[in-house]
Amino acid sequence: MTEVLLKELNNSDIDWMITIGHQREITPGTVLTQAGTTVTSLHILLDGILTVTTAEPENNPLTRVFAAIEGIETPSREIARLSSGEVVGEVPFIGNRLTAITVKAVEKSLILSIPQPELATKLQQDVGFAARFYRAIAIMLSDRIQSIINQLGRSNIAQGQPLKDVLFVLGKLHDSDIDWMMACGTQHRIAANTVLIHQQRPVDALYILLSGIMSLSVSDDERNPLARAFAAMEDSEVKNREIAKLLRGEIMGETPFIDGRLPAATIKAIEDSIVLSISRQQVAAKLQQDIGFASRFYQVIATLLSNKFQGMLSRLGYGRRIYSQGQPLDENIEYEDELDSSALDRMALAGKRFEWMQERLSVN
């Protein structure tokens, strides 16, 4: 993971971070981010090891009460360890307000902390930096998601809210971006049981699901990726396990644009569906030629990956919401998944954009 920032950022980006950031050494046990709180800085781990934990589900209210009385920490589960080059505290910059994970130092570590206001301003004013930054975050989030899937036995943990995701997505893009997608895209009807994307095989296009339902699944086949790919081409039986259902508005086939990796899952139509397909070559050329589009595109991808990551934690019973603990809803309490008025406004605009997009494309 050390190479991600060095590969994606350029020298001027790194120089800016060094100038604006504050380097400090932290002792074992130091908490950098606490689950359910607002993150105020982006932290880059220069040396050392950090642990990432999430709260275990607590089904017994009485157990929680006595734990609180006795001053016992909430049970937690480690889901990852971070080494040099990893980033902590990216949540505010990709659409989520509160973090669902706790990150603390395992050993004496060296970090570079960049205040949120300065980084937010830099992302708004320097689109080139924004494109490179969001791409790097997307790569890291993709790796974290894959690690969780591998760690937890590929159970059905990734169920998300695709329509909510696409509203965030369309709220971040410009009208000109959507116009370009519709002008370059081609509608395709995908019959039920048709595989749109094969796990560990090249992806030919970026897809937006306009109508229908698709299944996201991973293979239980222990053979190497090349053997699995040829088995699928020969129609040999490859056992897959569903980890999510994809609804209208979901973006699919984004993996080649993150870091050239092959898709980690198979996407198959559950029912007759309609997708908007934009060729891989066209998207790649657009990303190279239009830096503004690239910054928004990679922010969108990072946002979707972050939502999937948070969704996995919630589905596992982690990232508990305040009101799920038996406390009443209160207008003076800020809940983990609460949206502020500006976010609601963006979602309303995005909802209209999606309807307009479907009308332009005559999707029923």
Domain limits, the chain: 2-122, 162-289+338-360
Distance CA(346)–CA(364), nearest Å, equals 24
- At 301, list the tokens: 């991808």
Superfamily assignment of 162-289+338-360 in CATH? Jelly Rolls (2.60.120.10)
Rg (CA), the chain: 21
Common-topology check for domains 2-122 and 162-289+338-360: yes
Tell me which amino acid residue 36 is: G
pTM for the complete prediction?
0.77
pLDDT tens-place values along the chain, 364 residues long = 457 888 899 999 999 999 999 999 999 999 998 888 888 899 999 999 999 888 655 544 544 444 455 454 556 778 888 888 889 988 777 765 677 788 999 999 999 999 999 999 999 999 999 999 999 999 988 888 877 776 655 444 444 444 455 566 667 788 899 889 989 999 999 999 999 999 888 999 999 888 899 998 887 655 555 555 555 555 555 567 787 788 887 889 988 888 788 888 899 999 999 999 999 999 999 999 999 999 999 998 888 888 777 766 665 554 444 334 444 444 444 444 444 445 555 556 666 766 777 777 776 5
CATH number (3.40.50.2000, 2.60.120.10, 3.40.50.10470, 3.40.109.10) of 2-122 reads 2.60.120.10
Instruction: Could you list the beta-strand ranges (E) of the chain.
Output: 22-26, 31-33, 41-47, 50-55, 76-82, 87-88, 102-105, 109-115, 186-190, 195-197, 205-211, 214-219, 240-246, 251-252, 266-269, 273-279
